[in-house]
């Protein structure tokens, strides 16, 4: 008989086999992982540059833009193109969704993003799904929908990193780190800001910072930024870097007060924007519009809104943000800024709510800059005699940009480093830190979610961050319980039960009723004690049953099981197949559960600090 041929090893891109020695090198030490992170960073930089160029080419084609011109910074656009451009993109996105739905033989499931992958799936992502998301994001952004490309950047780069890690058969902790490297490189390449990309990974994708994570993540961010700059250089968002551009004099401690207030204002605005997206999604579902038609309808709405307000609300808003930070741009009044803010927020909510692919990363930056400028213009009226505490509208724009982005996206240090790398001003960065702390704390205590985790919550997932909780879900009662459990019928006479279970035998016995359903547990010492208490009248077995309504089900995780032991004050509980049928399938003790749970906690701790596991 021929021996079965083993399946081929996973490959990097599905075609190239990974040699065993190369896998051993990467798995054997930190140097190999750092080299792999550098490769991920270079690939991410190329992917970001390619997606950016593709989206720009699509915008130039649909809106007849001069080469290199930003859509949201262009005036004098043809109204016909303004209205039909987003609608055309929505139609293409809808057709793509329809084609994918009909082509797939499996039920549709939400595509896993980097946060969910690291929180629940040990860093495992689908490169196919990630490519589809990136394509949809390019179509959405390139057609003028009010979404940024950052979601597509991180999805594609993290998916590539995950696939590469699976090809090298990385351990769970290393695979999660590599997914963080892909996301870090994507954000670093998008903004030319390596520190921002690195802390984006630490705070939002991996969920923690450790010495073991520092080198691979920073290497990936640096490589991504350098490669993207060499392929498609992007102008700086904040062109002015002179101190006088941010303040009329020296920045003092008193300037932290309005920054703190602006952070609180941005927290409220961020919560309103996130709930606005949810309301649009709920309205689309209530209208019973076919999912393939919703993006086209949303595109018409966004185009009409851009025609009524300003084309600055279209696409991600890079050009419009450049205009707001450009010193030579004519100042806008409070009313004009407020109308632009409302228009951009509405357009973003409509775009995402109607099915365009993308995120609120850059939209929140643009909206925050507008909020900061509105705040700066309103201070003299609100506090007569004070001229914005010496800070310029540009300074408040930078502070507001970071504070609102923290409210929506999360990552206080990420947005602080973004402000530092964009402005090069340490005094402004100090004010930004005050604002983002106020914004982050307020949102966390009053709302509790970022935009990504809020959408997980709406789907029924209890994910608050990228911390690895997947191992807890995998450590289920089914995996921990003992299956060789005998049962005794409740009608068994007590003398027969005592004879079959003398003192010294297993101390607990599971009891079932006449239909084989779980009825409770009898503690053998208690049964013998009850029989000796009154020799003339032997009690029935039903009289010594304990925990008749306390049991576990196989799907419970170890944490829920430990809580059940504590709640019922029991050292062991029966496991039944379901709450309805209550067929006994096993037994689990509190001691074994806590032992395994502690072992897994220790393993996670050691993986976090880079120790061998």
DSSP assignment of 298-352: HHHHHHHHHHHS-GGGSSS-HHHHHHHH-TTSPPPPHHHHHHHHHHHHHHHHHHH
Give domain 471-608's CATH number out of 3.10.580.10, 3.40.50.300, 3.90.79.10, 3.40.50.12170: 3.10.580.10
* pLDDT for the residue numbered 420: 93
* pLDDT for the residue numbered 348: 95
- pLDDT-derived band at 349 (thresholds 50, 70, 90) equals very high
List every span in the chain annotated with CATH 3.10.580.10. Answer: 471-608
- pLDDT-derived band at 7 (thresholds 50, 70, 90) equals very low
Could you tell me how far CA 238 lies from the centroid of its own chain? 28
Handedness of CA 220, 221, 224, 229 (dihedral sign): negative
Look at 207 and 59; give whichever has higher pLDDT. Answer: 59
Query: CB-hemisphere CA count at 13 Å for 530?
Result: 18
Query: Smallest Cα–Cα separation from 553: which of 525, 530, 574?
Result: 574
Max CA pair span of the chain? 103
> Looking at the domain that runs over 243-458, which CATH code has it been given?
1.10.3080.10
Rounded to whole angstroms, the Cα distance separating 482 from 479 reads 9
pLDDT tens for each residue of 379-438: 877 666 555 457 888 889 999 999 999 999 999 999 999 999 988 888 899 999 999 999
Dihedral in degrees, nearest 10, Cα atoms 405, 410, 411, 412: 60
- pLDDT-derived band at 13 (thresholds 50, 70, 90) equals very low
Report, as an integer, the average pLDDT of 13-25.
64
pLDDT tens for each residue of 569-580: 888 999 999 988
The DSSP code for 539 is: P
The fold of 20-236 is: Clc chloride channel (1.10.3080)
Answer whether residue 232 shows pLDDT above 70.
yes
pLDDT tens for each residue of 478-491: 888 988 888 889 88
Rounded to whole angstroms, the Cα distance separating 55 from 452 reads 23
pLDDT tens for each residue of 266-289: 999 999 999 999 999 999 989 989
Dihedral in degrees, nearest 10, Cα atoms 195, 219, 221, 401: -10
Rounded to whole angstroms, the Cα distance separating 456 from 587 reads 33
Tokens of 350: 């409509």
* pLDDT for the residue numbered 212: 81
Answer whether residue 166 shows pLDDT above 80.
yes
- Taking the whole predicted model, whether its pTM rises above 0.85 is answered as no
* pLDDT for the residue numbered 315: 92
* pLDDT for the residue numbered 239: 59
Look at 110 and 49; give whichever has higher pLDDT. Answer: 49
Look at 454 and 258; give whichever has higher pLDDT. Answer: 258
Q: Please give the full DSSP string across 376-412, using - where no structure is assigned.
A: HHHHHHHSTT-SGGGB-HHHHHHHHHHHHHHHHH--H
Answer whether residue 346 shows pLDDT above 90.
yes
3-state class (DSSP) for residue 246: coil
**Residues 222/202, Cβ–Cβ less than 8 Å:** no
Q: Please give the full DSSP string across 165-180, using - where no structure is assigned.
A: HHHTT--HHHHHHHHH
pLDDT tens for each residue of 531-560: 887 776 778 888 889 998 899 999 888 888
List every span in the chain annotated with CATH 1.10.3080.10. Answer: 20-236, 243-458
Query: If you average pLDDT over every residue of the chain, what do you get?
Result: 86
In terms of phi and psi (left: phi > 0; alpha: psi -120 to 50; beta: otherwise), the region of 449 is beta
Do strands 572-576 and 584-589 pair parallel, antiparallel, or not at all (unpaired)? antiparallel
Report, as an integer, the average pLDDT of 590-608.
73
* pLDDT for the residue numbered 1: 40
């Amino acid at each position: 008989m021929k021996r079965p041929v083993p399946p081929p090893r996973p490959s990097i891109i599905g075609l190239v086999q990974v040699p065993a020695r190369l896998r051993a090198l990467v798995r054997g030490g930190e140097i190999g992982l750092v080299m792999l992170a550098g490769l991920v960073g270079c690939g991410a930089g190329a992917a970001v540059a390619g997606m950016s160029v593709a989206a720009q080419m699509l915008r130039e084609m649909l809106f007849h833009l001069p080469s290199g011109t930003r859509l949201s910074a262009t005036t004098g656009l043809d109204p016909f193109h303004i209205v039909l451009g987003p609608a055309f993109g929505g139609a293409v996105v809808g057709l793509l969704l329809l084609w994918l739905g009909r082509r797939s033989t499996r039920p549709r499931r939400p595509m896993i993003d980097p946060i969910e992958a690291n929180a629940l799936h040990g860093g495992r992502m689908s490169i196919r799904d990630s490519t589809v998301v990136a394509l949809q994001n390019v179509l959405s952004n390139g057609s003028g929908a009010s979404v940024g490309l950052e979601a597509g950047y991180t999805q594609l780069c993290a998916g590539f990193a995950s696939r590469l890690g699976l090809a090298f058969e990385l351990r769970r902790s290393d695979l999660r780190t590599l997914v963080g490297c892909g996301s870090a490189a994507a954000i670093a390449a998008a903004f030319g800001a390596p520190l921002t990309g690195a802390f984006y990974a630490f705070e939002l994708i991996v969920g923690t910072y450790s010495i073991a994570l520092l080198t691979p993540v920073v290497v990936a961010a640096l490589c991504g930024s350098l490669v993207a700059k060499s392929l498609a250089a992007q102008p700086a968002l904040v062109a002015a870097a002179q101190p006088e551009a941010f303040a009329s004099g020296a920045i003092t401690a008193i300037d932290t007060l309005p920054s703190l207030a602006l952070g609180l204002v941005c927290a409220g605005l961020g919560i309103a924007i996130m709930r606005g997206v949810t309301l649009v999604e709920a309205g689309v579902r209530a209208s019973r519009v076919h999912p393939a038609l919703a993006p086209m309808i949303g595109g018409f709405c966004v185009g009409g809104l851009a025609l009524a307000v300003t084309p600055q609300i279209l696409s991600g808003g890079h050009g419009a943000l450049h205009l707001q930070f450009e010193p030579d741009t004519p100042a806008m009044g409070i009313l004009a800024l407020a109308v632009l803010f409302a228009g951009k927020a509405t357009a973003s909510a409509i775009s995402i709510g109607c099915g365009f692919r993308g995120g609120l990363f850059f939209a929140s930056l643009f909206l925050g800059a507008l909020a900061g400028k509105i705040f700066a213009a309103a201070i003299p009226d609100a506090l007569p005699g004070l001229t914005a505490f010496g800070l310029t509208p540009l300074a408040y724009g930078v502070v507001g940009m970071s504070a609102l982005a923290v409210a929506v996206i999360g990552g206080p240090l990420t947005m602080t480093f973004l402000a530092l790398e964009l402005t090069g001003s340490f005094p402004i960065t100090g004010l930004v830190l005050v604002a983002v702390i106020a914004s982050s704390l307020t949102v966390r205590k009053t709302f509790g979610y970022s935009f990504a985790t809020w959408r997980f919550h709406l789907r029924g997932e209890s994910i608050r961050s990228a911390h690895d909780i997947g191992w807890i879900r995998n450590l289920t009662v089914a995996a921990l319980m003992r299956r060789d459990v005998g049962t005794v019928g409740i009608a068994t006479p007590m003398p027969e039960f005592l004879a079959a279970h003398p003192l010294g035998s297993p101390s607990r016995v599971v009891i079932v009723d006449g239909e084989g359903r779980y009825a409770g547990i009898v503690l053998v010492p208690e049964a013998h004690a009850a029989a000796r208490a009154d020799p003339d009248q032997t009690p029935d077995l039903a009289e010594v049953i304990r925990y008749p309504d306390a049991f576990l089900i196989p799907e419970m995780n170890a944490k829920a099981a430990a809580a059940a032991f504590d709640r019922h004050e029991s050292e062991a509980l029966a496991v039944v197949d379901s709450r309805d049928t209550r067929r006994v399938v096993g037994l689990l003790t509190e001691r074994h559960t806590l032992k395994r749970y502690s072992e897994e906690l220790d393993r996670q701790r050691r993986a976090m600090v880079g120790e061998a596991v």
